[in-house]
Amino acid sequence: MEAAVCRTRQGAVRGTLSADGGIAAFLGIPYAAPPFGPLRFRPPAAPRAWSGTRDATAHGPTPPKAPYTPPFDTLIPEASVPGEDCLNLNVWTPSPGPGARLPVMVWLHGGAFTNGSAASSAYDGSAFARDGVVFVSLNYRLGADGFLHLDGVPDNRGLLDQLAALEWVRDNIAEFGGDPDQVTVFGESAGALAIGFLLADEQVRRRGLFRRAILQSGAAHHFLRPRSARRITERLAEKLAIEPTADAFAAVPMDRLLAAQAELRREIGARPDPAVWGEAALNAMPFEPVTAGPAEDGLELPGPDCGVELLIGSNLEEYRLFLVPTGRLELLPDAKLRATAEAYGLDPDKALPVYRDARPGAVPGEIFDAMTTDWFYRIPAIRLAESVPGSYMYEFARRSSAFDGRLGACHGSELAYVFDRLDDPTYAPLIGEGAPQAVADAMHGAWVAFAKTGDPGWAPYDTGAAAAGAGTRATMIFDDVAPGVVEDPRAEERALWEGVR
């Protein structure tokens, strides 16, 4: 392949050009120093400058992480690259060099804050560059290194990494053809939760690092309070037989630390007691952003003066990803429904009939999926849209053919369509066969349009006059048929959560 050269503040980088010369890719560019040695558990430090031209033709190292456990290791293939210089990013651009001032999209991957990386072919940005966008993906610290609460060091180091990468974009992206004043940050699952957390921080918003945001299957209701975070730290230290200090954790071999992290997550899943684990019991994530914010049911949401344009949504059957491959969808007992409804703050005698009436013949696992999908994903998305007038809402409803069609429109199944990569084998276990290109054209096209103009192509989620019956709550549904707007989908189920979540 031919080479392309761009200059950053640290030095020049050499990437590759596509066969037709239309897209340049620059991989593994450091945006911060390696977070090890004296920089372990510290805020990201500036990367060192280099002389000459640095090769940027292969993905850089990825942050340490334990692999997914079966069956998720085959459903969600992970890309890992060894090495310590793991705070790096990738750029795809149709116009390398200054002057073009194209819109920029910055991708934050998911993985429950413990998994994922920007090195996966699933997150190849070629389709975005093809459509006139400068695309950036990045790695950030995960698990204990990124999110464990430790005295004497800053919390949320993984989020600080993301902000450092956004600062790199602000300072360097013009050299790659991008416009630093037209940045859209977007992410899925933990990546979207991270954006929700950043949006809730007024100081972050004032920095103006992004103008628009797209949150896929994650919003601003998932976090740990310091008390819960300390319990996580203490229990992880107990497992490792160490003191719960940064120095003690830094002295533990990485493979042993990662194994203990995975064991802790399984322990919480097996005994999800809020009295023991706090927020982590329901979130099922021991490593999350930590906040002491005042809101009891989530972060303090941004208001009408947010200053960031939002596109927010979720998938129709998110939780099937965690029920179908494990066989729990068919085995889940009815008693679990009542217990879960109560844990979520719903009255089972009122809520469960509403969910059942909309799904005649559904087994308890299917009702559990609907209710948990609402609690974890859909309702937080709605609350964020309600807090920022003018936001746009979507729902991904294209049901996968995988697992004989039972996997449905599960968590993560929209990604192949957003990235317009239906032929990428990484996505095959989730999307199954016969994935319609028309859905990818519509969804990917809406994301690009939003990044370019702030308008994805449908009406905002208007709730201003909802009390008088005039609010539309317009929601774009992406399904096998042509995408279409539905006003207030599943309104009766949404209403169950008023004053609850």
Q: Catalytic: which of 188, 318, 366, 493?
A: 318
Q: What is the DSSP letter of 378?
A: I
> What Cα–Cα distance (Å) separates residue 166 from each residue in 61, 175, 449?
19, 15, 21
Residue among 95, 120, 137, 189 flagged as catalytic: 189
DSSP per-residue letters across 317-336: TTTHHHHTTTTHHHH--HHH
Q: Known catalytic residue: 444?
A: no
Query: Catalytic: which of 411, 413, 414, 444?
Result: 411
CA distance 86 to 230: 27
Q: What are phi and psi of 441, to 5 degrees?
A: -60, -45
- Report in angstroms the alpha-carbon separations of 315 from 377, 378, 413, 475: 8, 8, 8, 12
Tally the C-alpha atoms within 13 A of residue 337's C-alpha that lie toward its C-beta: 24
Residue 201 CB neighbour total at 10 angstroms? 19
The yes-or-no answer on residue 2 being catalytic is no
Cα three-residue angle 201-205-211, rounded to 5 degrees: 140
Residue 189 is a catalytic residue = yes
Query: Phi and psi for 320 in degrees, rounded to 5?
Result: -65, -25
* Residue 23, CA distances (Å) to 20, 90, 425 in order: 8, 13, 22
Nearest alpha carbon to residue 286 among 162, 143, 409, 132: 143
Are the CB atoms for 43 and 154 separated by under 8 Å? Answer: yes
φ, ψ of residue 228 to 5 degrees: the values are: -65, -40
Beta carbons within 8 Å of 20's beta carbon, 6+ residues apart: none
- The SS3 of residue 91 is strand
| Listed residue (246, 66, 259) closest to 155, CA to CA | 246
By annotation, the residues acting in catalysis are 189, 318, 411
